[in-house]
Structure 1
């Protein structure tokens, strides 16, 4: 399965709001989709939020459209879906630090959206695929970024759970491997040796979310999954916070095709993660 296959999936009817979250670039926008009464949901909400970050090697040629089917499916499942576009390597202002700042600004924009839409910001789950999986994990750790970093913000939106699909949590490892034609060097503006402080502020392997349940899902046919996801899981300080799921017979893109067997399992994992958040809230 390829990104083109994903774009050609039959899509259910749905309403999408294209909403800008910044003014520096026309790429600073997101798709907002809300659950509909037609799918059995009370439109008054409030709804848990699935904050989606698409992948594509952090490169400009891979954009948001291939997540449309997943966006709609998660709205059917009862989530308010906020799916981010952002500047990437090859876009003006993309790379360091623009790619990270765009995703951060897009996440924080949920506060403004919640003033106009029934969003439950106490239940925000970041869902990212491939390079977007790295960014989703990073969003959940922004509260730990040192003040001296270009990526630091005083009051980042709290992320309550992460579902990382075929993720790339170790930027240094992907730099060494030359992933996607060596894109990490362009993304970070150099190597880990040249900019150790950047990698420390942006790579989930070094900047791990704390107190946030995380589920990493990959397909056993995906050659890219496993190089660092297993190491990320094994290095968790609290093993109960980081779960690893490997789906048999699935490749890289089946995970975000919502009506494939792998895609349905991803949706079940997201529902289970939401259930964990509910239990944690009840126990506080």
Structure 2
């Protein structure tokens, strides 16, 4: 079902937001976000940042096993300066309460040893491989899987969708990766080539930090890193952006969606009325019902409810 089906709901939500007292969230509000402790935590590498948290639905959740899965990838401008996995526990707890298991991923960022290119991308591979390994133990249905990323994490989940398109001679190539076709990018900055100036202005990051530098056998650093060039890949991407987002403005979502559709993939845009870059990931935000609806639709679940699909 297409996003235009709830454009009316978006407009009505905008009326509520305008009438309400909630101001758009700022960075300090985002950094203060927290949530429940995870059900389990698993390392996928030896570095301190190489781990993922699992949030399981409670016993009274409206979903029975096997559980659909949301992979969460936090943002923070690809650095360790602006929070990360802790803040996304806020969203993780809300999704688990809806009957959705959550795999909340930490990773090495560009200012950490081993982070940037290729380490950050290799961490995405390893985190998803570990998820596949743990799926049977925790009754996780990786056939009903959505990857949800915020800001820099939006870039990473959009990249995840295109992993099968990575050239075989790249350090990032992996055969037989876990398919992730449903993507929700919340204020993502995924077009590393086309949005280089914006990424520099918004985050202070240079292309070399995120994509490496050209060299023998790799003259084009975007061939294996730029989600916008790893299409078509059969994905369905939901680009969700706050109306007041200044880090990744609505124009970015519309431009990426147009490119994806031109190349043969499916992409839809939802602009959250009255919302900032940080409202996009807060379950306490007035925008959360719309974000939740997108995630549940990406999982193929009916609007407004989570339900078990028999296998």
Q: TM-score by structure 1 length?
A: 0.88
1:240 Cα deviation from its structure 2 partner: 7.1
Q: Distance in 2 between matches of 1:165 and 1:184?
A: 21
The structure showing larger relative contact order (alpha-carbon pairs under 8 Å, at least 6 residues apart) is: 2
List per-residue Cα deviations over 1:39-81 (Å, max 9, x = no partner). 3443xx1011101110011112233111110011111111110
Query: How is 1:137-216 mapped onto 2 (pairs within 5 angstroms)?
Result: 137-177=158-198, 178-179=200-201, 180-190=203-213, 196-208=219-231, 210-216=233-239
Across the two proteins, how many residue pairs are aligned to each other?
273
Q: Confirm or deny: 8 A CA contact 1:127 1:162 kept in the other structure.
A: yes
Q: Distance in 1 between matches of 2:34 and 2:170?
A: 43
List per-residue Cα deviations over 1:187-217 (Å, max 9, x = no partner). 223489x965331211111112522211100
What residue number does 1:219 align with?
A: 242
Q: Confirm or deny: 8 A CA contact 1:167 1:225 kept in the other structure.
A: no
Q: Confirm or deny: 8 A CA contact 1:165 1:216 kept in the other structure.
A: yes
Q: Distance in 1 between matches of 2:93 and 2:80?
A: 23
Q: Distance in 1 between matches of 2:254 and 2:59?
A: 40
1:131 Cα deviation from its structure 2 partner: 0.6
Q: Confirm or deny: 8 A CA contact 1:17 1:33 kept in the other structure.
A: yes
Q: Confirm or deny: 8 A CA contact 2:146 2:182 kept in the other structure.
A: yes
Q: Confirm or deny: 8 A CA contact 1:159 1:212 kept in the other structure.
A: yes
Q: Does 1:49 align with 2:69?
A: yes
Q: Confirm or deny: 8 A CA contact 1:56 1:130 kept in the other structure.
A: yes
Q: Does 1:31 align with 2:53?
A: yes
Q: Do the aligned partners of residues 66 and 169 (structure 1) sit closer, same or farther apart at CA in structure 2, a change above 3 Å counting?
A: same
Q: Does 1:252 align with 2:274?
A: no
Q: Distance in 1 between matches of 2:171 and 2:77?
A: 22
Instruction: Let me know the Cα RMSD of the aligned residues.
Output: 2.4
Query: How is 1:79-94 mapped onto 2 (pairs within 5 angstroms)?
Result: 79-94=100-115
Q: Does 1:6 align with 2:27?
A: no
Q: Confirm or deny: 8 A CA contact 1:217 1:246 kept in the other structure.
A: yes
Q: Residue 134 of structure 1 aligns to a residue in which SS?
A: helix
- Structure 1 residue runs without a partner (length 5+): none
Q: Confirm or deny: 8 A CA contact 1:138 1:208 kept in the other structure.
A: no
Q: Distance in 2 between matches of 1:20 and 1:208?
A: 31
Q: Residue 228 of structure 2 aligns to a residue in which SS?
A: coil
- Structure 2 residue runs without a partner (length 5+): 1-24, 303-308
1:220 Cα deviation from its structure 2 partner: 1.2
